[in-house]
Amino acid sequence: MTRTMLIATAAALALGSCKASTTSQQATGNGATEPAAAGWTAFVNGFIDQWFKLDPSFAVYQGKHEFDGQLPDWSDAGLKRQADFLSASIKKAQSFPDSQLNAQQRFERDYLIKVAQGKLFWLTDADQPHTNPAYYVGDGLDPNVYLARPYADLPTRMKAVIRMFDNVPAAAANIRANLKTPMPVSFIDYGVAAFNGFADFYANDAKQAFAGVHDPALQQQFAASSAKASKAMRDIATWMQSQRPNATTNFALGAPRFSRMLQTTEDVDIPLDQLEAIGQRDLAKNQAALKQACAQFDAGATIQDCTKKMQSDKPEGGPVAAARRQIPMLKQFVLSHDLVTIPGTEEAKVEEAPPYNRQNSAYIDPPGPFDKGIPSVYYIAPPDPSWPKAEQEAFIPGKADLLFTTVHEVMPGHFVQFLHANRSPSLFGRLFVGYAYAEGWAHYAEQMMWDAGLGNGDPETHIGQLTNALLRDCRFLSAIGMHAHDMTQAQSEQMFETQCYQDKGNAQQQAARGTYDPAYLNYTMGKLMIMKLRDDWTATRGGRKAWKAFHDQFLSYGGPPIPLVRQSMMKEPTAKAVF
C-alpha cells in the first residue's frame, strides 16, 4: 500500500502544476506531434489550478509547498464545491470530440474523466464524508509530509505544521458535524484508533521532530497549536467511542453501488458473479501451489502448520533491520535479470510505522513529483501491544513473507513504480496514480519476481510469495462478499484464516479493513489485468525476452485505469477490462 492511497478508499489521486503536458509516443502508443488544441490545454490548466485550491493537502503531498499548512474545506459548502466542480469538469471534458484532439489528448481526456468520476463516486455516491471516518484520515490530517520530507529547513517545516495544527480544530468540527450515527462498529474501531493516534502524534512525535529548532517563541507557538490540534483529535475519538453502544454492522455498499465503484474508479464493467468466479479461480490456483510447496517444505504437515513453520522463521534483528538488508539484494536481482529499468539514483529508507497509521502492516511513502531529492520511506508496523503475546509474535512476518512485502513496497514494486511515475512524460501520469494500477503493479511484481527465479525454487521462499497472494485473494473475495452479498465481518475473518491461512490477528485486521476499504480487491484485480496484458503484449514480441520492454512501457503511463493502458498498448478500439 502506498501513502498516496487513502487507506479506506480508492486511490487518493493528486493533481499538481499549472502547465499542461502531452504524453509521449511510448505513453500513448501514438506518434502524433501536432500541438495541443488551445481549448483543451486551457481546460486542463484550469482544472488543475482549481483542484489544488479545493483540495490543497493533495497539492502539498505532490510537493507544491505554497499550499503548506492548508486543509480541505470539509464543510457542507466545501464538499458541495468539490462535487459541483467535478461534475462540471466531467461534462466539459466529454464535450471535446475526438475530431478536435490528437491521440495523446484523447488519452488524457479519458484519463481525466475517469479520475474525476472516481473522486465524485467517493464524494457523493458512496457519501464517504458523511459515512466513513477513513475519508479524513488519509486526506490532510497526517503531518508526516512535513516531518519526513526534508524539502526545506526545520524552522520552515515547523511553521508549516503550526499552520496545519491551527486549521485542525475547525476541520475536526466539520468532521464531527459530517459523520452520521449510528456507525458500523468496525468504523468506530478504526476511527478511535486513528484519531487517538493523531492526538498522540501531534503532541509527542511531532514535537520531538522539531526539538532541534532553537527558537523559544516558535517552540511556544508550536506547543500551543499542537495542544489544540491534539485535543481536537482526542475529542473526536472520545465522541466516536461514545457511539459504541449504538454501533451497527451496516457497512455494505450494496451490489449496485459496488458495481458503480468498479466502473467509475477503475473502468471495470464486469458482472459481479463473473468477477467473483475469477477470484475463486485464482484462490484455487494459489492454494494448489501452496499445497505443493508445503509438501516439499514440511512433508506430512497440514497447510496451517506449514505456513506457521514459515512464519516462525523470523527475520534476524526484526523486520525493519531485515528489510534494510533485503532492498540491495532485490535491486541486484532486478538488474542482473534485466527485469525493469530503475531510473535515477534515489534510495528507499525503512522505518517503523508511526502509531496513528498502523492499520496496514506495511506501506511506502514516496515523494511527489515536485519534491526533488527527497527519499521514499518504507514503513513497517509493529504488532499492537494490547494484543496477547502470541498474537503479537504471529503478527511479525517470517523472513520469506517479509521478502515479498519488500518486493511489493520497494523493489521492484511501489518504489520503482513511483520512480517511473515521477518521470512520466505525461502530466497526468506524474500526478494521478490509481489504486488498481499501483497496487496491481506491486502485487504483480511479487509473482513476477518468483517466476523470474527469486529464491531459486526454494519452497520456503515460494510459501512466502503464495501467502501474500492468498491474502490478496481473500481481500478480493471479501470485498465482493461483504459489500455485494451478505458476508459478515466474522465470516470474512474466518475465510482469511481457513482459506488463505492468515494468523488470527491479521485475519481480524484484514476483515475489518474490508468494511471501510471496499476497493481493496484492487490488488488482485489489478495484478490479473496486468498479467493478461503482459501475456497478450509480449506474445508477438518474443515472450519472456520482452518482459523488460513491457514493464518499462507499462510504467511510463504513471497510473491510469488499466483498461485505458490496455487500449493504448494493444491498439484496441475501446477500453475494456480483460483477465
Q: How confident is the model at residue 397 (pLDDT cuts 50, 70, 90)?
A: very high
- Provide the pLDDT for residue 427: 76
Q: pLDDT tens digits, residue range 332-378? A: 999 999 999 999 999 999 999 877 667 678 999 999 999 988 999 99
Handedness of CA 552, 558, 563, 567 (dihedral sign): negative
Mean local confidence (pLDDT), 526-544: 98
C-alpha cell at 37: 488544441
Q: How confident is the model at residue 205 (pLDDT cuts 50, 70, 90)?
A: confident
Residue 87 CB burial class (10 angstroms; 0-12, 13-18, ≥19): middle
- Provide the pLDDT for residue 22: 29
Mean model confidence pLDDT for the chain: 91
Mean local confidence (pLDDT), 131-151: 92
- Provide the pLDDT for residue 127: 98
Mean local confidence (pLDDT), 206-214: 92
With a cut of 60, say whether residue 515 has pLDDT above it. yes
- Provide the pLDDT for residue 356: 65
With a cut of 50, say whether residue 252 has pLDDT above it. yes
Query: From CA 437, how far away is CA 443, in angstroms rounded?
Result: 10
123-153: burial string, b at 16+ Cβ within 10 Å, e else: bbebbbbebbbbbbbbbbbbbbbbbbbebee
- Provide the pLDDT for residue 570: 98
Q: pLDDT tens digits, residue range 443-476? A: 999 999 999 999 999 999 999 999 999 999 999 9
CB 485 within 8 A of CB 253: no
- Provide the pLDDT for residue 37: 66
Q: How confident is the model at residue 139 (pLDDT cuts 50, 70, 90)?
A: confident
- How big, in percent rounded to 5, are the helix, strand and coil portions of the chain? 65, 5, 35
Q: pLDDT tens digits, residue range 401-430? A: 999 999 999 999 999 999 999 998 877 778
With a cut of 90, say whether residue 244 has pLDDT above it. yes
Query: From CA 227, how far away is CA 166, in angstroms rounded?
Result: 10
- Provide the pLDDT for residue 563: 98
Mean local confidence (pLDDT), 193-208: 93
Q: pLDDT tens digits, residue range 471-510? A: 999 999 999 999 999 999 999 999 999 999 998 888 999 9
Query: From CA 215, how far away is CA 1, in angstroms rounded?
Result: 37
Mean local confidence (pLDDT), 96-109: 90
Q: How confident is the model at residue 168 (pLDDT cuts 50, 70, 90)?
A: very high
262-273: burial string, b at 16+ Cβ within 10 Å, e else: bbbbbbbebebe
Tell me the pTM: 0.92
Mean local confidence (pLDDT), 172-186: 98
- Provide the pLDDT for residue 359: 62
- Provide the pLDDT for residue 2: 61
Q: pLDDT tens digits, residue range 36-67? A: 467 888 888 888 889 999 999 999 999 999 99
Query: From CA 555, how far away is CA 423, in angstroms rounded?
Result: 10
Q: How confident is the model at residue 569 (pLDDT cuts 50, 70, 90)?
A: very high
With a cut of 90, say whether residue 23 has pLDDT above it. no
Q: HSE of 365 in the Cβ direction (CA atoms, 13 Å)?
A: 25
Q: pLDDT tens digits, residue range 108-122? A: 899 999 999 999 999
Higher pLDDT among residues 1 and 253, named by residue: 253
Ranges of each domain in the chain: 140-251
- Provide the pLDDT for residue 1: 66
Query: From CA 503, how far away is CA 467, in angstroms rounded?
Result: 11
Handedness of CA 520, 402, 326, 462 (dihedral sign): negative
Query: From CA 79, how far away is CA 81, in angstroms rounded?
Result: 5
Percent over 70 (pLDDT), the chain: 93
With a cut of 70, say whether residue 14 has pLDDT above it. no
- Provide the pLDDT for residue 52: 93
Closest CA to 290 of 503, 407, 478, 459: 459
With a cut of 60, say whether residue 210 has pLDDT above it. yes
Query: From CA 455, how far away is CA 467, in angstroms rounded?
Result: 15
Query: From CA 449, how far away is CA 406, in angstroms rounded?
Result: 12
Query: From CA 454, how far away is CA 456, in angstroms rounded?
Result: 6
